[in-house]
Amino acid sequence: MWGGVYLPLIPVPVQRQLPQRLRHVYCGKSPAVPLWWEWKGKRVFIIATMGLFSGDGAGVAARLFKRYGAQVWGGLHLKMPDCICDVKALKRTPAQNKQIVIQAEERIKSAVCNLKNGTPTKDGLGFLCHIAGLLGQRLWFYHKTQEYSDKIQIDTDACIKCGKCALVCPMNNLSLSKCKIVANGRCTLCYRCVNQCSEKAITILGKQVIFQHSVSDFH
């Protein structure tokens, strides 16, 4: 706690991905600086990606930034290809996904022009978006996201024990132990391991990997 503001606890793997100035706060490489001081007066534009519906994704982040004194200029919601590769209902064809990326790039260009003109896009920041996000997402997922998931399944027959899934996991949830991959109950459903597994041996929500994605697929 610093000056009446609780500093959030950030896992070590996530600390490594923070900007240098914030990483110093948590890693002890320089005197601790409260987050409200780091963000106070900073102008922030928030981008939130989505598969189907974002509600107030940018709004959620905006409320956190404002708590630490930042000035939120605007927000942009971008529809992108989904990464949940073991659920058939969300699948689109490669051609459809490429079109989604093209549309997202056009929206980014438009948002940049708006920002330069002093009229920033404000996706997800209004009251109606807040209500939509509450009713359409947070109430639905509230109990599903209070704790880490233990739903990850590894097909031991298909797994070649290469260890790549353990390397890409941001939560250090997976480890290679005694020639097998072990899940440690800290999965946040990011799907990095599922998309990166060359043998399609990992599933989380579904029972079979249908289609995997990488950034190179859409360029």
Same domain flag for 108 and 177:
no
Same domain flag for 37 and 104:
yes
Same domain flag for 30 and 50:
yes
Summarize pLDDT for 96-111 with one digit per residue, the tens.
888 998 999 999 999 9
Two structure tokens written together for 66: 């404002």
Contact 38, 69 (CB under 8 A): no
Shortest CA distance to 186 belongs to which of 170, 165, 199? 170
Summarize pLDDT for 34-50 with one digit per residue, the tens.
566 678 888 999 999 88
Shortest CA distance to 190 belongs to which of 144, 158, 149? 149
Confidence of residue 146 (pLDDT cuts 50, 70, 90): low
Radius of gyration of the chain (CA): 20
49 lies in which domain range?
A: 19-144
Which pLDDT belongs to residue 24? 46
Does the residue 218 lie in any domain?
no
**Domain of residue 168, CATH code:** 3.30.70.20
Which pLDDT belongs to residue 162? 92
Same domain flag for 33 and 127:
yes
